[in-house]
Amino acid sequence: MTGPVHGTWEPAPAARWEDAFLSGNGRHGVMVFGDPNDDQVIVNHHTLVRPNGAEHARPPALAAELPCLQDRLLGGDVTAAEGFTDGRGLQWVQPFHPAFRIRLRRPAAEEHGDYRREADFTTGVLTAHRAGRRSEVFVSRADDVVVQYVTEPGLTTDVTLDPQLPGAPHGLAVGHSAVLTPEGALVTLRVRYPGSDRAYTGVTLAVVTGGTLRSSLPGIRVEGARSLLLLTRVRRHTGEVDALAEAAALRALIPGGDGDHDDPYDRLLARHTALHRPAYLRAGLDLGAEEAERALPGSELVSRPKSPALLERLFAAGRYHLLSASGMLPPRLTGLWTGDWNTAWSGAFTTDANLNLQTASAAAAALPEVTEAHAALIHGQLDHWRDNARAIFGIRGVVAPAHTDGESGHIYHFSREYPLHLWTAGADWLLKPLVDHDETRGDRDPRTAAALAEVARFYEDFLTRTDVEGNLVVVPSYSPENRPANASWGTINAAMDLSAARHALLTAARYHPEHADRWRTLADRLPPHRINDDGALAEWAWPGLRDSYDHRHLSHLYGVWPLDEITPYDTPGLAAAAHRALELRGAENDSAHGHLHHALIAARLRDGGRVAHALDQVLGGDFFHASLMSAHYPNRDVYNADAAHTLPAVLIEMLVQSTPDRLVLLPALPPALPQGRLRGVRTRFGAEVDLTWTPEGATAVLKPTRSHRIELRTSTGDAQPLDLVAGEDHVLSLGAW
């Protein structure tokens, strides 16, 4: 047995940008087609969002109207929140877009030999080769540069930078230049957005071995070379960029002058892989798949939805793509990639579900780089979150937006059907991965502590209304993106809001003992969850509000996942009600994020059958492109990273779950996966876990970094104490699962 494949391959170039292979360093991203005669590399950058007016948008000033809204909602006016607006229309965030494509066109030639393009997840190198021609592309984590290296005897090609990709707006101001220098050719593209002073510049330095370079606007022409090395960067800016200075910075990456042009590429690759490879290899999944299936190209493997080899490869690809998309920011709806200027939902960070689902595996799958990128988004926008709290609610603290382009954290994307400005749970939801990260590493980030204190202060000021029993009331309240069957969207006591307020206050109390009594007392005054007439945990705890079951979001089960508020072990009655709510939940439009969110909650509730069904819906629904990036809907409809990035989290949760004081092994393993090994999983009590299972039994090796007593639970649900000692491996032998 050779083990799982850490990459994927195809026997033909990509004909669609959705099938192009992907690489990235969390700032720059590339999409590589691999056509020998018309080699296209689409370059992306996290900062590239197109001005559409939203760059000047601010949150609505509604604080003066809030008391009246609260009175009306508490008085039974179920549509009162529909008028809680400043009258603006729906404003989308600035849309994410591609920068340009690097295009290498060569004279048409008869092709001989077998073609193959590959993505190596361990290095991030994307390779296409046939006969004597070979092209390699990666995006350096060390040097923040796109590196493309082409070798071919007598290489002759035109090189251009072209921003005119599908959906490009009319009126782009585009400028090209091509300058020959002693070090090589400098190709520059300047693009200014229509009606804006904002622009971006792409700079490519071309260096050849043998042959000649000459200017051939809008690019350059290479003739008779043995190799071509292209180094590319993108910068978003206002005003002008000194292209010569940018070129000098690129030239500094390839010191030499001894004529050895293979060595500069090797050095660039070595610096990159020193950072990328260890991160990628920290965790892995082996399901004992057949070697013949492991050897298949990705496009053929995705047509075998029951294959363990498919899950192995999607686990590997998911971690690879998630790592590649995370750096200066976490992944967008499309990760770090798009080939179309009209990206669905603006290619935004949708924070009321999608972002946290995509990054759900970060702590457990040993990718702190992803959590650090997630933190960068949050901490870069806290001033805007404060503006939201003041403008909309007139109080201290922070309120997070449900949509952001990465630049602005202001709330301005809302409408009657999507009153996202009423969503107050977002700050707790978005900070939860940072808390998990702190627990995993055993240290508290002072930035997280400060943000949690601001969330607690928001609830101190916001939670002022009470019900007839003296419980605090969350009003207005909103459950993304659903509404009661007998009321409008803005309501009272959404289950997610209750869970978030309670969790935020109790978590802030742990980080800030000096305020603990006050915040815990406030949390204790929140009402309990409500169980409806169907025996299900109600999406709204306010009496009289009826559930709407057929919806893609599962916001009301926030207490089950990712929180530990509702578990089969500590709150079995609520867990049973949550399970009933999960049973009644429909799939609505079959969004990938809905199916996998369902699977994560089912895993926490120990329902392996539901996990398997949700996986079947995604794996059997034709959600994956040949690139192994996913779609939002079945039949590869709408390029979207939700399924690709969330899948590793589902596979981990069905095998290993942890809290700061508990380890659960094999809680929801589907019978279709009778054997396997999951290695390198990190727990929230500070231990690494390697788990191996067969029908005869399972073995877990725990490698703790700190001493701690935990509760161990296995597939039987029985509990036993387990004392862990830092630095001492602990081997557990379990019976048949």
pLDDT of 394 above 60: yes
Q: Which residues are within 8 A (CB) of 243 and not within 5 positions of it... i.e. 6 or more apart?
A: 177, 186, 188, 201, 203
Task: Convert the pLDDT of each residue in 580-617 to its tens digit.
Answer: 999 999 999 999 999 999 999 999 999 999 999 999 99
CA distance 284 to 122: 12
- Residue 259: the pLDDT is 43
Q: What is the pLDDT of residues 22-32, one digit of tens each?
A: 999 999 999 99
**Average pLDDT of the chain, as a whole number:** 96
Which band of pLDDT confidence, cut at 50, 70 and 90, is reported for residue 260? very low
What pLDDT, on the 0 to 100 scale, is given for residue 514? 98
Quote the pLDDT of residue 737: 52
Higher pLDDT, 424 or 239: 424
Which is more confidently placed, 246 or 352? 352
Q: What is the pLDDT of residue 256?
A: 59
Please check whether residue 398 is in contact with residue 454, taking contact to mean a CB–CB distance below 8 angstroms: yes
Q: Where in the chain is the domain with CATH 2.60.40.1180?
A: 655-737
**Which residues does residue 46 pair with via DSSP β-bridges, in sequence order?**
none
Residues of the chain with CATH 2.70.98.50: 7-49+97-286
3-state secondary structure of 523: helix
pLDDT confidence of residue 736: 59
Fold held by 655-737? Immunoglobulin-like (2.60.40)
**What would the pLDDT profile of 704-714 be if each residue is shown by its tens digit?**
999 999 999 99
How far the first Cα of the chain sits from its last, in Å, is 24
Range 40-68 average pLDDT: 97
Q: Could you tell me whether strands 219-238 and 284-286 are parallel, antiparallel, or unpaired per DSSP bridges? A: unpaired
Whether pLDDT at 247 is above 90 = no
Residue 56 has pLDDT above 60, yes or no: yes
Q: What is the rounded average pLDDT of the residues 418-427? A: 98
Give residue 131's pLDDT. 83
Distance of alpha carbon 689 from alpha carbon 687, whole angstroms: 6
Q: What residues form DSSP beta bridges with 119?
A: 8, 126
User: For the segment 657-688, what is each residue's pLDDT rounded down to a tens digit?
Assistant: 999 999 999 999 999 999 999 999 999 999 99
Provide mean pLDDT across the span 388-395: 98
**Cα gap 650→644, rounded to integer Å:** 11
Which two structure tokens, joined as six digits, stand for 14?
Answer: 């990509």
pLDDT over 50 (residue 258): no
- Burial string for 326-364 (b: 16+ CB within 10 Å, else e) reads bbbbbbbbbbbbbbbbebbbbbbbbbbbbbbbbbbbbbb
DSSP letters along 603-639, please?
A: HHTT-HHHHHHHHHHHHTTT-B-TTS-BEEETTTEEE
Q: Which residues contact 647 (CB under 8 A, 6 or more apart)?
A: 314, 315, 318, 596, 618
Residues of the chain with CATH 1.50.10.10: 306-653
pLDDT of residue 242: 84
Q: What is the pLDDT of residues 187-200, one digit of tens each?
A: 999 999 999 999 99
pLDDT, residue 78, reads: 97
Query: With bands split at pLDDT 50, 70 and 90, how would you rate the model's confidence at 717?
Result: confident
Peptide bond into 194 cis (omega under 30): no
Structure tokens at 368: 């702190």
Task: Assign 159 a pLDDT band (cuts: 50, 70, 90).
Answer: very high
**Percent residues over pLDDT 90 in the chain:** 93
The CATH number assigned to the domain with range 7-49+97-286 reads 2.70.98.50
Segment 304-321 shows an average pLDDT of 98
Q: Is the pLDDT of residue 110 over 90?
A: no
Residue 546: pLDDT over 50: yes
Would you say residue 540 has pLDDT above 50? yes
Determine contact, residues 4/284, Cβ cutoff 8 Å. yes
Predicted local confidence at residue 257, as pLDDT = 42
Residue 716 is predicted with a pLDDT of: 77
Span 201-212, mean pLDDT?
95
Q: What is the mean pLDDT of residues 412-441?
A: 97
Calculate what percentage of the chain has a pLDDT beyond 70: 98
The CATH architecture assigned to 306-653 reads Alpha/alpha barrel (1.50)
